[in-house]
A = this chain, B = another copy of it.
């Protein structure tokens, strides 16, 4: 197990670090920070009071956003391992989302820290499928499956 002290998002090249969900260069965004931990990638995030759906519960769009950005970081870490490196050895490869599948298993309570976990279930050079869980106070409330692809030419 290895817990580097820099998040994966801090390793993205400067020109692709503006994402609203996780870009360190986006002062308005969520600034999600995901860390490698063995075969998994882990993040902690406490939603703000305004990130509400029905009173008392977290907005589903935020939960989808956390799953999305965390999955891109998870894909980046796995790509580095597959290339014989470790995440943090150099800039992290940048993935974008091709598809997002989110199942809201139960309402996620607002006011507690969430734990987001991801691991890659399938990958090729260009693509990774990432399984995500989001837990509130030890209970998994959201499961997601996210398809990540390397930033395509059309976005460069």
Question: With A50-B26, A51-B20 in contact, do A101 and B101 touch (Cβ < 8 Å)?
Answer: yes
- Say whether A60 contacts B107, CB under 8 Å: no
| Residues in chain B near residue A135, CB distance under 8 A | none
Interfacial residues, chain A to chain B (CB-CB below 8 A): 15-16, 18-21, 23, 26, 28-29, 50-57, 59-62, 64-65, 68-69, 94, 96-104, 106-107, 151-152, 154-156
Chain B min CB distance to A19 (Å): 5
| Residues in chain B near residue A59, CB distance under 8 A | 19-21, 65
| Residues in chain B near residue A19, CB distance under 8 A | 52-54, 59
- Say whether B100 contacts A21, CB under 8 Å: no
Question: With A61-B68, A103-B98 in contact, do A54 and B20 touch (Cβ < 8 Å)?
Answer: no
Chain B min CB distance to A54 (Å): 5
A-B pairs with beta carbons under 8 Å apart, 18 shown: A18-B52, A19-B52, A21-B59, A23-B52, A26-B52, A54-B151, A54-B155, A61-B64, A61-B68, A61-B69, A64-B64, A65-B65, A96-B104, A96-B107, A97-B104, A98-B104, A99-B104, A106-B154
